[in-house]
């Protein structure tokens, strides 16, 4: 049995986060997420991955599944 590694598409994850953020300013969302604007910007540009805590907060705030944020599947 071989090992399988999931392909993580950070730019696509960042695009989906930017999409659900919509017209909300980065600064406003950063306050909710308890991160800096620079940190959120790096995530939205696909430079770094969001934390598990951030994924849960985004899911709760925007009513999108963590699976959708990560893979674009689900709702």
Residue boundaries of the structural domains of the chain = 10-69
Q: Does residue 41 contact residue 5 with C-beta atoms inside 8 Å?
A: no
Question: pLDDT tens digits, residue range 4-20?
Answer: 777 889 999 999 999 99
CA 2 to chain centre: 29
* CATH number assigned to the domain with residue range 10-69, chosen from the 4 options 3.30.365.10, 3.90.79.10, 3.90.650.10, 1.10.260.40: 1.10.260.40
Summarised one tens digit per residue, pLDDT across range 18-65 is 999 999 999 999 999 999 999 999 999 999 999 999 999 999 999 999
CA atoms of 15 and 3, how far apart (whole Å): 29
């Amino acid at each position: 049995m071989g090992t399988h590694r999931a392909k993580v598409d950070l730019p696509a994850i960042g695009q989906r986060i930017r999409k659900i953020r919509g017209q909300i300013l980065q600064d406003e969302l950063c306050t909710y997420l308890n991160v800096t604007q620079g940190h959120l910007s790096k995530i939205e540009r696909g430079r770094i991955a969001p934390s598990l805590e951030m994924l849960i907060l985004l899911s709760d705030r925007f009513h999108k599944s963590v699976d959708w944020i990560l893979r674009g599947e689900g709702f």
